[in-house]
Amino acid sequence: MYRCIIRSVCSGGRVCPALVSPYTQSPSWTLRITPEERHHRRPEHCWRCSVRSMSSAVRKRTSLRSAFPVLEQPLEPIHHRVYEANLQNSKACHNKYKEFSEKIRKGGGEKAIARHTQRHGKLLVRDRLRLLLDDEDFLELSPFAGLGLPYGDIPSAGCLTGIGRINGLWCVFIANDGTVKGGTAYPITVKKQLRAQEIAIQNRLPCVYLVDSGGAFLPLQSEIFPDKNQGGRTFYNEAIMSAMKIPQVAVVCGSCTAGGAYIPTMAEETVMVHQIGTIFLGGPPLVKAATGEEVTPEDLGGARLHAEVSGCVDHFAWEEKEALVYTRNIVSTFNFQLPEEEEEDEEKTRRRKAEEEPLYNSVELLGLAPKSSNYSLDVKMVVSRLTDGGRFQEFKARYGTTLITGFAKIHGHLVGIVANNGELSYQAALKGCHFVQLCDQRDIPLLFLQNTEPTVAITLSTTQADVNSNRLKAQGSMMSAVACASVPKITVVIGGCHGADSYAMCGRAFDPNFLFLWPNAKVSMAAPGHAGSLLPPDSEQEEEEERKLEDKLNRKLEEESSAFFSSGRLWDDGVILPQDTRKVLGNCLDIIKQQQYQVSTEKLQSPLLRI
Ligand code: COA
């Protein structure tokens, strides 16, 4: 959508540049107008100015091209050994990825699926989403969350979350999977729901809840109920999101018991399905135990009762498909003004796409995804396979070369790229700090390609102490710059995520809008095999004992550092395949920009109160 605007400005279209976000203005446009001029200029003046500037569209396009030179980074024979080793490792990782994907597709298993569809007559969660969304463009978040946990495998953490489009509008979806223990909430389910809400808040995205849940998974109640970022936080967020004017709609397409009952009741607008949806704090068995009275779920908290008597819901649907149509209709009232898609003939589309595609095949990223820290090739090879036309305008190319910084476009979106190319030295961190502030100044989203060094810096001499303390100061500055940059940030861990370097490279604690891992990624304080750097030297201990301890720690690092271990615990927003990275980044950048199309954004003092 954004791409359309930029293109129509460049090619003599009819869009006023005043409507174009600061992210997308080309440097030549910004140079042409001083801040005073911009302040005093009326829209029609902007318009005339833009038409003048557009008359030289071809020249401008040429100059833009030369501003972003092509990164010539072909695969050479010298890369062959490392490339092949990485490729083999990527294939093994891909097999694991496929195995996990198949596992989560099965949800709670055959028996549970049969009960869900045949006995209860409900749609499966992925079918619900398919019916709700415009198309298959669905960015699923943390699909492997819940796998390999101490309390077992919880497929998709019992709840699908992701971002897809309804009537062209990107929305966050939080959809319980009723086949996984009746859709009950495990600690990881709560964490996943909260992360999806956080993404909705950070990117101001409308939120759709598909509720089908038996409430808390009772055996783990102590890990779900009491703390700040646990069950109650979901409802707190609903209120805060409403006050922030982030629209929320809920569809009751299953059980909403106990805590689950508050989700639809606090949403701004709710649809409920006859004979499938129920909302109550305690179900019929509880009524029977307390009063001895027999009551049907429908009479106690069915769609009729809540649409006609309690007013907890706003729309009554006879069946699920009807409820999903109502939901699409509701989303059309969220009052976003999306730009019109520009009509393009086939030839033009083909030419534009060909121009945008990176110079080299993205499949080559599989051989560039490092198997371990010793197998990293020049990160510019990765950059050239992700950016439009493989183009990149490098910043400070000759300074702190273990960090690569510069500007590029991804699916037409201008981004500032910060990529590890070795250790984050004093110079590299200073450069990173400078570049991050530069992007913040210019309102350019940041993309971090993280592949940090595995070892902890050891201080054995005063010279080393000097080097390390300088590095410490520079990394501290870079961390401050990253933490305080108000532009959107996306992090992709393409190799290692180790030690303090990973914080400066916008790790999870630094609040990136999105954080993804490649399947080969390793996440741990020190990389497997480098446990020695974590252990303090102990002269009292036998060498043999010391080695055993080190081996044990290395095995633990190996086991706990895999991308799937990390994603299972929801330390990221998902594992993505290297060859899909460009597409995922394009979607994320589109999603991040949508907020500027919301017509009504002024904050309310209070959330919408239903009754
Ligand atoms: N905590 C732990 N396990 C639960 C659970 C809960 N709150 N609710 C359901 N389960 C388990 C069931 O024991 C069953 O386990 P099994 O497959 O190992 O036998 C599984 O989830 C599916 O439950 P089942 O009742 O067979 O499925 P269903 O689709 O017919 O019904 C519910 C699902 C959620 C409507 C129903 O189980 C229910 O009403 N549960 C109680 C909900 C409740 O009172 N929650 C209060 C939480 S504070």
Q: Is 598 in the pocket of ligand 1 (CB under 6 A)?
A: no
Q: What is residue 62's predicted lDDT score, i.e. its pLDDT?
A: 55
Q: Say how far apart CA 232 and CA 210 lie, in whole Å.
A: 18
| DSSP string computed for 201-269 | HHTT--EEEEEEE-SB-GGGGGGTSSSTTSHHHHHHHHHHHHHTT--EEEEEEEEEEGGGGHHHHHSSE
pLDDT band at 373 (very low <50, low <70, confident <90, very high): confident
Q: Closest ligand 1 atom to the C-alpha of 111?
A: 17
Rounded mean pLDDT, 290-309? 95
Rounded mean pLDDT, 522-548? 80
Q: Is 283 in the pocket of ligand 1 (CB under 6 A)?
A: yes
Q: Is the pLDDT of residue 534 over 80?
A: no
Q: What is residue 351's predicted lDDT score, i.e. its pLDDT?
A: 74
Q: Say how far apart CA 335 and CA 337 lie, in whole Å.
A: 6
Q: Say how far apart CA 519 and CA 494 lie, in whole Å.
A: 8
Q: Is 215 in the pocket of ligand 1 (CB under 6 A)?
A: yes
Q: Is the pLDDT of residue 30 over 60?
A: no
Between 490 and 49, whose confidence is greater? Answer: 490
For the record, the structure tokens of 92 come out as: 């093994």
| DSSP string computed for 360-393 | S-GGGHHHHS-SSGGG---THHHHTTTSGGGB-E
Q: Is 181 in the pocket of ligand 1 (CB under 6 A)?
A: yes
What's the pLDDT tens digit per position in 408-420? 999 999 999 999 9
Strands 522-523 and 393-395: unpaired
Q: Closest ligand 1 atom to the C-alpha of 178?
A: 29
Residues 6 or more apart whose CB falls under 8 angstroms from that of 533 comprise 454, 455, 456, 458, 526
Q: Closest ligand 1 atom to the C-alpha of 255?
A: 35
Q: What is residue 7's predicted lDDT score, i.e. its pLDDT?
A: 30
Q: What is residue 599's predicted lDDT score, i.e. its pLDDT?
A: 92
Between 278 and 1, whose confidence is greater? Answer: 278
Q: What is residue 64's predicted lDDT score, i.e. its pLDDT?
A: 65
Residue nearest to atom 37 of ligand 1 (CA): 182
Rounded mean pLDDT, 296-301? 95
What's the pLDDT tens digit per position in 430-442? 999 999 999 999 9
What's the pLDDT tens digit per position in 585-599? 999 999 999 999 999
Between 329-343, 344-358, 407-421, the lowest mean confidence (pLDDT) is in 344-358
Q: Is the pLDDT of residue 572 over 90?
A: yes
Ligand 1 centre from 214 Cα, in Å? 6
Q: Is 458 in the pocket of ligand 1 (CB under 6 A)?
A: no
For the record, the structure tokens of 161 come out as: 């979350």
Mean pLDDT computed over every residue of the chain: 88
Q: Is 258 in the pocket of ligand 1 (CB under 6 A)?
A: yes
Q: Say how far apart CA 293 and CA 290 lie, in whole Å.
A: 8
What's the pTM?
0.88
Rounded mean pLDDT, 9-37? 33
pLDDT band at 51 (very low <50, low <70, confident <90, very high): very low
Between 43-57, 133-147, 454-468, the lowest mean confidence (pLDDT) is in 43-57
pLDDT band at 605 (very low <50, low <70, confident <90, very high): low
Q: Closest ligand 1 atom to the C-alpha of 115?
A: 29
Cα separations (Å) of 262 from 28, 183, 217, 533?
Answer: 52, 15, 16, 49
Rounded mean pLDDT, 27-39? 36
Q: Is 300 in the pocket of ligand 1 (CB under 6 A)?
A: no
Ligand 1 centre from 604 Cα, in Å? 38
Between 29-43, 366-380, 504-518, the lowest mean confidence (pLDDT) is in 29-43
Q: Closest ligand 1 atom to the C-alpha of 116?
A: 29
Cα separations (Å) of 567 from 208, 371, 373, 519?
Answer: 23, 18, 20, 10
Residue nearest to atom 24 of ligand 1 (CA): 182
Residue nearest to atom 3 of ligand 1 (CA): 217
Q: What is residue 538's predicted lDDT score, i.e. its pLDDT?
A: 66
Q: Closest ligand 1 atom to the C-alpha of 183?
A: 34
SS3 assignment, position 523: strand
Q: Is 257 in the pocket of ligand 1 (CB under 6 A)?
A: yes
Residue from 120, 181, 217, 263 whose mutation best tests the ligand 1 pocket (most atoms within 8 A of CB):
181
Residues 6 or more apart whose CB falls under 8 angstroms from that of 32 comprise 49, 53
Q: Is 217 in the pocket of ligand 1 (CB under 6 A)?
A: yes
Q: Is 216 in the pocket of ligand 1 (CB under 6 A)?
A: yes
Q: Is 328 in the pocket of ligand 1 (CB under 6 A)?
A: no
Q: Is 256 in the pocket of ligand 1 (CB under 6 A)?
A: no
Between 15 and 211, whose confidence is greater? Answer: 211
Q: Is the pLDDT of residue 364 over 90?
A: yes
- Alpha carbon 128 to its chain's center: 22
Between 291 and 534, whose confidence is greater? Answer: 291
Residues 6 or more apart whose CB falls under 8 angstroms from that of 251 comprise 208, 209, 210, 211, 264, 270, 271, 272, 273, 323, 324, 327
Residue nearest to atom 18 of ligand 1 (CA): 181
pLDDT band at 267 (very low <50, low <70, confident <90, very high): very high
Rounded mean pLDDT, 278-298? 92
Q: What is residue 459's predicted lDDT score, i.e. its pLDDT?
A: 75
Strands 514-517 and 496-497: unpaired
Nearest alpha-carbon partner for 552 in 534, 569, 568: 534
Residue nearest to atom 40 of ligand 1 (CA): 214
Q: Say how far apart CA 193 and CA 251 lie, in whole Å.
A: 16
Ligand 1 centre from 208 Cα, in Å? 24
Nearest alpha-carbon partner for 293 in 304, 306, 305, 283: 283
Ligand 1 centre from 126 Cα, in Å? 21
Rounded mean pLDDT, 308-327? 97
Q: Is 50 in the pocket of ligand 1 (CB under 6 A)?
A: no
Bridge partners (DSSP) of residue 270 are 250
Residue from 119, 179, 257 whose mutation best tests the ligand 1 pocket (most atoms within 8 A of CB):
257
Q: Is 231 in the pocket of ligand 1 (CB under 6 A)?
A: no
